[in-house]
Each structure stands twice: as C-alpha cells, then as structure tokens.
Structure 1
Amino acid sequence: MDNPDSDAPQAHSTAVQHGQGSTFEPARTRSRAQSFVSEHLFVEDTVEPTGTIASSAVNLANTILGSGMLSMPNAMAALGLVFGSAVIVFSGFMSGLGLYLLSRCARRTQGRDSSFFAVSKLTYPNAAVFFDAAIAIKCFGVSISYLIIFGDLMPEIVEALGFESFWLLSRNFWITFAILALMPLAFQRRLDALKYTSFTALLAVVYLFVVVALYYFTPTREPLPKGDVVWFKFSSSFFTHLPVFVFAFTCHQNIFSVYNELRDNSSKQVNGTIAVSVGSACGVYQWIAILGYLTFGSKVAPNLLTMYNSNLVITLCRLSIAILVLFSYPLQCHPARNCLDKVTTAIYNAWKKEPEFEAINDAPDDEESDIMADDTATSAPVVHFMSPIKHVSITMALMILSYVVAISVTSLDLVLSFVGSTGSTTISFILPGVFYYKMHQHSRWRLMKVLSVFITIYGVFVLVFCLGANIARVISGDI
C-alpha cells in the first residue's frame, strides 16, 4: 500500500459527505481526520477491515461461552427441565434481539467508529460518560472472575496430575502466570486478532460437550449421586437464578467492535454473525444443562465439574475450562479499554472545550430504512483514534488492577450474581432498547420499535426483581 494512512480519511470523508444537507466543509473534516491518523502509530487501525462472519462469530461465541456453562444444570434444576429449557431459549432470543438493536444503532454512527459512547452521544449525550464507565466496570469485574477461576482450577489440576511442588499448588502463582501469559493477547488492538485463541478456547467447549454426554449415555459409568428430576418448577429462587441465564448470553460489549471490523458490515453479514454466535451458544447451553440435570437431578452442584469423580478425563476437562477462561480474559479487556478511552477523551474534551460533534447525513443501508425522511439528519462524534501511549497505559492499568483484586479475593460468586442482574441486564436489554427507541422516536411504530420498548421493560423487570432477590439473599444470610 503506497499510503497506509489513506484508508481512514477516505472512509471518514465518505461517511460525512452523504446527502446534501451537510453544514460543514468536507475538506476541513478530512484534514482533521488526517491529523488524527498522522499522530497514530498503530498500522492495524488504518488497514482494511479483516473480519468475517466466521471469525467474528467465534469471538462473540467465546465471549458468551464461559464459566456460565458449568452453572447451567444447577440453574435448570431450580426451574425444572421444560421451564429451564424454555428460559434458555428465551434468554438467547432476548440477547440476540439486543445485539440486533445495537447493530442497527451502529449504522447511525459515523464510518467504522461505532461504540456505546458514540451511540450515547447521539441519544443521551449527557449520560454517555456514565454508560461507558458502567460497561467498563462490568467488563473489568468479569475479567477478574476469569483470573480467579483460573487460579482456583490450576492447583487442583496439577495435584491430580501428581505434581507436589509448592509453587504449582499455589493459586497466586497461577494468577501471576496467567497475567504474564495474557499480555500479548490483552494488548491486541483489534478484536479480530483474537480469533485464533478464541477458536482454541472453543475446543474446550467441545470437550465439555463430549464429557457431559459420555457420563450420561455410557451405561458402564461409575455410580453418580442422583436426585429427583422435575419437568416444571417455579419458586422465589427463579429470580436469583434468572441472572445466570442473562449473564450467560452477555456479549454485547463486543458487538460494536464486530461491526467496525467486519470486512462487509452490511446488515446481512452482521445479522448472520449474531445468529451463528447466539444460536450455537444456545445449543451448547441446552445440551449441557439438560444432560447435566438428567445425570444428577436436584443434587447437581453450581459447578458441574465438581460432581464427577476425579480421573484423567475430568482433569483434562478442568484444564480445558481453565484455558477457556484464560483466553476469555482479553475479550473483556478489549471493550473495557475502549470504554475507558472514550470516558477519558470526553473528560479531556470538556476540559479543553474541544468540539465533540460534527454534522452528518445518514445514507440508507442495504435494508429498507424505517427512519422518516425528516429524521435522517443528525450529528456524530468526531472520529477518534486511541494513541499508542494511551492504549498501553489503560491496558496496563486494567491488568495490574485485575491482578491485585484476583490475588486478594477468593470468591466472586455473589459479585457475579449482582453483575448479572445489573451490568449484564443493562448492556443486554435496557441500553439497546432505549438507544433504538430514541433514534426512532419520530418514526412510525413498526415491529422493531415495539420490540425495543418490550426489551427495555423486560430489562427493568430483571434489574428490579433479580437485584431485589439477591439483596434479600444477602440479608437472610443465604450465601
């Protein structure tokens, strides 16, 4: 490529020149974008997008499929076989709907610079900083949980393999090992660069998939504790277990990166990515939840792997899950860094009184637009590139802080329950609904606008009742 910096200014100027109603000079906009690129040293920000449906779906699926798989049978036991299966399907549908609404909102942002912050600036500009700060905290909390799970699993694994070294049996050693090993991955600029590690991590899902089936279908398996199996069950515990299903399908923090990095980010390609990732995750959850529940019934533990007799097959399964959560850490670090970048940039711009908006006229995408003609004119945040120093600084801060907390805390079960009922609910349901509705408030009432109101109401319901149930659980001491 003769001029590696040419792509970003061209994409920017193309986006801002749509329509006849622009009130600014394209040449000046082009100059500003070029000044950003000239100061920016990361080549991967200026090359053509490389994402495909396959690579993007692998990253989203790996973001979805984490430690939540191991708690699915226990969550199903609280609801019954039929009711639990229905809740998994419904949770997958609602998650997919939230992803779709966010992808539609991304089309109203400028070029390939979409983010929660950019959408917030077009809808609720005064709350944009708070939205991104909340998302960053949520992702940061999940990344800590991955380090804790890895630190707890590895000593058990090495002990089962016959190693007796003090260092190898120390959780602090393995958390330190994890944070050092993850540095090359956590510093990756693009989400698409993580596709190979995400694919490797998903092999752990396949292995768990096989192990659960093996212990259910093999008639010669060792006797396992067996409880009652019911078809339908409803009690107050439903509200404490519902966040598990919500948390299990949360990957919305990465949908904007997927949209930005897809080589062809048309609606067809983005929708295909969402369908493949959420659909495959739903199938995996159903398989593990149903077979795990049928194997152990009401006696199934919150961590499915603790129910099986310790042997080489189960030890290797634990190792594969450890690798899965290890490779999932960068997928939380990536959106947390991007959100913190937007927050600090907004604070800096407010201090320096720099302009954050410029006019833009939306052009319809490949699908028929449901936006009325007089609703097409809008404004978009100025294109922003994260500087190399800022990229390194934020990443190092996230990794150091997550390391310190993971070393200090031994259990995050209750914290993750609160994360599922607050942060995950907000990202998955409330924000997609309110963003889409706000952008289409002057449009005709069509199906997607109705669904945006529905998903918002559902998110508020989950937030209020599930958070209340978890608070009551803490007060009663049932933790």
Structure 2
Amino acid sequence: MSDTTKGASSISAIINTVNTIIGSGILVLPYAFRTDSIFLGSLIIIFAGFANALGMILQGAASKFLPNGTATFFTVCRITYPNLSILFDFAIFLQCFGVNISYLVLTGDLMPLVYTFDGWDKYSMKLFYIACSTLLIIPLSLMKKIDSLKYASIVALSAIVYICILIYGYFFIALLTDYNNIPIDKIGKVSVFKPQGIKPVFKTLGVIVLAYTCPTQFSIISELNNPTMKNICNITYISMSITAFIFLSVAFSGYLTFGNKLTGNILLMYDNNLYIQTGRALLVLMVILSFPLMFHPARVSLSNIYHVIIEKLNNKSCIQFEINNSIENTPLLNTESNNLPEFAQHIVDLEHENEIPISNTRFYLLSLILLTCSYIGAIYLNSFELILAIVGSTGGVLISFVLPGFYGYKLIASDDESVIRKLYTFTPSEAENPIFKSKLLKKLSFFLIIWGFIVMIICLYATIFE
C-alpha cells in the first residue's frame, strides 16, 4: 500500500497548482477585456474558473477509484473508457509538448528585448538565448517528482507577483497623474458593456479558458500526504480563487491603463525602462521554470503511449479484464475497515501493474527525445500565439473539461456495481462521501463535456478562420 504519511503538503500543492495555471497567457487577458468589454470579460473569467475548478474536483474524485498515488489520465481512462486511453494520452502529450515549445519561442522572442548584443542579428540572439535556457530547463526536467519543483515554483510565482505589481503600479500612477505617464497615442476608450463583436469574443474566450489549464492535477494529487476529498477540494478552491483574483485584477488594471489601444501582450505596451526590462526578464524566467511542470505529464503520457503500442505489437492481453473479474466477484467492503483483505491487495497489485511505471532507462531516453524535439521545434517555429492557440484549443480543452467530464459521468452516482466496488476497495474511508452519490455532480459532468466540445469548436474556428 502507498505510504500517505510522507508527501507534498497542501501549501506545496497550492503553489504548484497556481504556478502551473498562471503562465504567459496572463499577459493577454487585458486584451480580452478590450474585445469582450469589462462586464462580459469578467463573467467569462469567473465562469471559466468555475468550469476548470469543477474539472479538477472530478479528477480528484476519479483518483479514489484507484489505489492511492496511481491515478493518471491513462489509468483512469483504463477503468472508464479503456479503448480511448491512448487517444486521451495523445491529447495530453500534445497540449504539454506544444506549450513547452511555445515557452521556448517566447524566451527567444523576449530576451533580445531585455539585452541586445552589438553586431548580432535577431535570429542569432534568439538561438543564443534558447540555448542558454538549457542551463535551467534540463536539470529541472530530469526531476522525477512534481513536488521537487516547489522551490522553482516559488521563484516563478515571485516573477508573476512582480509582473502583476508592475501592471497594477502603472494603472494607479496613471490614475493619480491623470494618465500623464502614458503616451497619448496609447490611450484608448474603455468599453464597460459593449463587446467588439461575436467573433472577437469567441477568439478571446479560448484565451481565457485555456489560461486556466492545469495538466498536472493527477500528479499533484498523487504526491499529497493527505489526499482526502476534503483536502483536494480545499486545494482546488484556494488555488482557483487565487488564480481568478489575479486574472481579474490584471485584466482590469491593464485594460483601464490603455483602453482599446491594447494590442496583445501588455508588456509590449510600456516604454522601455529598468522596471519593464526586469519584468520581461522575469517573464522569461517564469516560463522557463514552468517548462518542467508541463514536461512531467508530457513524458508520462508519451511513456503510456509507447507501452500500449508495444503491448499491442506483442499481442499481450489486457490486464483490465482480470481486475474487473476480481472486483465483480467480491462483496462490497465495509467502509469502516482500515485494512484491505487479501483479495483486495491482489487487486491493488494488478492495478499497480496497470500503472505502467517508467524505468530509469525509459525515463532518460524519453526525456532526451522530448527535450531535443522541443528545442528543434522552438528554432523552426516562430508564432508563439498560434502554437498556443491551436494546441490549447485541442489538448487543453480535453484536459480541462472533456476528460474530467467523462470521468465524472462514468464514476459519480453510478449504478454499475463494478464501479462502486472499486471505490469501496481502494478508498473505503471515502466511499460514503456525498460527492460520490451526487446526481447534481453527475449532471454537471455531462455539462462539462458539452461545454468542452463547444469551446473546442469555437477556439479552433476563431484561430483557423481569423
């Protein structure tokens, strides 16, 4: 059985969750207010936060149908929709891998604005700074646990705080000086209620929704030292409340500073000075330190895909049939029991086989392949926004909405005895929790699936047919 006395604290989980969610996309949120208006933009930010929080809670609930510490998108798919597990893992890999490429592209684009070498052309400086990023990215990406990155996450969060203070500071100085600190050609009108149109709203809807994506939720849950549903829900509530407050305040302050003159990344709107240059440098530091938080689930998903392909090539039989038979032929466990009987321990052993551990050789080989491909992609791809938009509108939406919705609809308030027995077998202390019997949560899970597909279609339409 997993040792739950050691692991990540709730504070560590909150730090990693907030740092994973809040990335470079925060700088585009003021522009979303320009297209949506302050009122509609605020509603979308709040609603998107609620939808993502629901998805994270459903992931936490799904983890209780597996042995503690073994839940991943892959293993949950194996007990819900096993035939689609490789497809879902590919979506996760695509999202995380694509975001990492965009981080490297952003590094190559911003660092030449921070420090320029005389006689160097733009492309040479881009290559130089992307190469320099390896000094931090490679060691952090080779750490095997998300919790090992908590100190890097604290540094990244400090960078976020600085950038937010920079945006707040310029806004308040503008108010106090009657906007004398902002060039007249960068001050536009402000729209409180009237959006620019349906299509612009659709485009920024994707930006806002995807800004909340957290692909590391299962990893964070697996490493908790107290992974109860109450603790998971509290971590989600606190993390999403902090994130939503930051998103709303940055969007509000940034938009009211420049109004409808805003053009995308707000850091590019300010005149060059020491504070702005420092903010740009810290943004680069932030995305570099966020790289391993995306790299971790990408590596796990690629390993799962490799395992399934090899398994099929070798004509191995699926272990899930044996697990289900073992569970279906046993009575429900007493929820007061603290120890699993012998037959349940056997099921745990089988489920751990289904977990697909990564050997050291595979771990380092996959890391080498992913890092190499990420850097090659960053060198040859130039559009940060396009990469993030396309990858996020597919993999990001699947991770945040569609997959958690499917999990919740299959597992919550289920009439399937094999599903119920999994819960009583692996987490008997949580089996009577009202969450697992909630008809409302089951309906919300179905809503999350529909919402996810709608957002996916809207985001892809707005990106491809811009």
Match of 2:44 among 87, 109, 118: 87
Q: Pairwise mapping of residues 124-163 of structure 1 onto structure 2 (< 5 A)?
A: 124-159=81-116
Which of 457, 460, 476 in structure 1 is aligned with 2:453?
460
CA distance in 2, matches of 1:47, 1:400: 36
Instruction: Give the match for residue 428 of structure 2.
Output: none
1:36 maps to none
Which residue matches 2:188?
A: 227
TM-score where L is the length of structure 1: 0.82
Question: Shift of residue 381 of structure 1?
Answer: 6.2
Post-superposition offset of 1:354? 5.1
2:374 is aligned to: 402
User: 1:154 touches 1:322 (CA, 8 Å); kept in 2?
Assistant: yes
Change (3 A) 1:387 1:152: same
Counterpart position of 2:255:
293
Q: Is the 8 A contact 2:55 2:401 kept in 1?
A: yes
Distance in structure 2 (CA, Å) of the matches to 1:152 and 1:158: 11
Structure 2 residue 439 is matched with structure 1 residue 446? yes
Which residue pairs with 1:164 in the alignment? 118
For the pair 1:96 / 2:53, whether they are aligned, the reply is yes
Please give the alpha-carbon distance, in whole angstroms, between the structure 2 residues aligned to 1:309 and 1:69: 19
Alignment partner of 1:435 is 2:394:
no
State the distance in 1 between where 2:149 and 2:4 align.
Answer: 17
User: Residues 24-62 of structure 1: CA distance to partner in whole angstroms, max 9, x if unpaired?
Assistant: xxxxxxxxxxxxxxxxxxxxxx99642111111111111
Query: Which runs of structure 2 are paired with 1:180-191 in the superposition (5 Å)?
Result: 180-191=135-146
1:245 is aligned to 2:200:
no
Change (3 A) 1:363 1:146: farther
8 Å contact 2:7–2:225 — kept in the other structure? yes
Q: Is the 8 A contact 2:27 2:266 kept in 1?
A: yes
Does residue 200 of structure 1 match 2:155? yes
Q: How far off its partner does 1:339 sit?
A: 0.7
The answer (yes or no) to whether the contact 1:226–1:295 under 8 Å persists in 2 is yes
Give the AA of the match of 1:292.
Answer: G
State the alpha-carbon separation in 2 of the partners of residues 49 and 345 from structure 1: 29
Q: SS state of the match for residue 107, structure 1?
A: helix
Q: Please state how far the C-alpha of 1:343 moved relative to its aligned partner.
A: 1.3
Single out whichever of 95-104 and 409-418 deviates more from structure 2.
409-418
Q: Deviations over 1:435-475 (max 9, x none)?
A: 111124427761111110111111111112332232322xx
Q: Distance in 1 between matches of 2:9 and 2:191?
A: 42
Q: Which amino acid aligns with 1:223?
A: I
Contact kept, 8 Å, 2:94 with 2:391, in 1: the verdict is no
What letter corresponds to residue 442 of structure 1 in structure 2?
Answer: D
Instruction: State whether residues 106 and 114 of structure 1, in contact with CA within 8 Å, keep that contact through their aligned partners in structure 2.
Output: yes
Is residue 247–residue 420 contact of structure 1 (8 Å, CA) maintained in 2?
yes
Deviation at residue 349 of structure 1 after TM alignment: 2.5
Q: How does 1:285-324 map to 2 (within 5 A)?
A: 285-324=247-286
Cα distance in 2, alignment partners of residues 116 and 125 from structure 1 = 11
2:216 is paired with a residue whose SS is helix
The CA deviation string for residues 297-320 of structure 1, in whole angstroms up to 9 with x for no partner, is 011120001111110010011111
Structure 2 length normalisation: TM-score? 0.84
Is this contact kept in 1: 2:56–2:404, CA < 8 A? Answer: yes
Q: Distance in 2 between matches of 1:385 and 1:208?
A: 39
Q: For the Cα contact (< 8 Å) 2:91–2:398, is it kept in 1?
A: no
Give, as a single letter, the amino acid of the residue that structure 1 aligns with 2:23. Answer: G
Q: For residue 3 of structure 1, what is the aligned residue in structure 2?
A: none
Aligned pairs, number: 416
Amino acid at match of 1:130: L
Aligned-partner Cα distance in 2 for 1:341–1:323: 28
Are the counterparts in 1 of residues 394 and 456 from structure 2 also a CA contact under 8 Å? yes
Unaligned runs of 5+ in 2: 337-346, 417-436
Distance in structure 1 (CA, Å) of the matches to 2:28 and 2:335:
40
Q: Secondary structure at the match of 2:45?
A: helix
Question: Quick one: structure 1 residues 239 and 303, their matched pair in 2 at CA, closer, same or farther if it must change by over 3 Å?
Answer: same
1:257: Cα distance to partner?
0.4
SS at match of 2:277: helix
Aligned residue for 2:342? Answer: none
User: Identity of aligned pairs, percent?
Assistant: 34
CA distance in structure 1 between the aligned counterparts of 2:193 and 2:22, rounded to whole angstroms: 25
Deviations 1:183-214 (A, max 9, x none): 11001100000000011000011111111111
Is the Cα–Cα contact under 8 Å of residues 171 and 257 in structure 2 kept in the other structure? yes
User: Within 1, Cα distance between the matches of 2:279 and 2:55?
Assistant: 32
Distance in 2 (CA, whole Å) between partners of 1:445 and 1:263 is: 26
Distance (Å, rounded) in 2 between the aligned partners of 1:165 and 1:311: 22
Aligned in 2, Cα 1:457/1:384: closer, same or farther, shift over 3 Å? Answer: same
Give the superposition deviation at 1:281: 1.0
Separation (CA, whole Å) in 2 of partners of 1:363 and 1:338: 32
Decide whether aligned partners of structure 1 residues 171 and 364 sit closer, same or farther in structure 2, where only a CA change above 3 A counts: farther
Post-superposition Cα deviations, 1:109-156, rounded to whole Å, max 9, x if no partner, equal 223111000011111111101110121011000000001111111111
What SS does the aligned partner of 2:70 have?
A: coil
* 1:437/1:449 contact within 8 Å kept: yes
Name the counterpart of 1:477: none
Equivalent pair of 2:213/2:396 in contact (CA under 8 Å): yes
Name the CA shift for 1:201/1:471 in 2 (closer, same or farther; >3 Å): same
| Greater mean deviation of Cα atoms: 432-441 or 188-197 | 432-441
8 Å contact kept, 1:155–1:170: yes
Q: Is the 8 A contact 2:406 2:449 kept in 1?
A: yes
* Residue 62 to residue 365, structure 1, CA distance change in 2 (3 Å): farther
- Which residue identity lines up with residue 197 of structure 1 in the other structure? A
Distance in 1, Cα, partners of 2:360 & 2:38: 51
Q: For 2:438 and 2:23, how far apart are their aligned partners in 1?
A: 37
2:386 aligned with 1:414: yes
Among residues 166, 178, 182, which one is paired with 1:211 in the alignment?
Answer: 166
Give SS of 2:65's match. coil
Distance in 2 (CA, whole Å) between partners of 1:60 and 1:364 is 34
Q: Does the 8 A contact of 1:349 with 1:356 survive in 2?
A: no
Following the alignment from structure 1 to structure 2, what is the Cα–Cα distance between the partners of residues 165 and 188? 38
What aligned pairs does 1:344-359 form with structure 2 within 5 A after superposition?
Answer: 344-352=306-314, 353=316, 355-357=318-320, 358=323, 359=326
1:426, CA displacement in angstroms?
A: 1.2
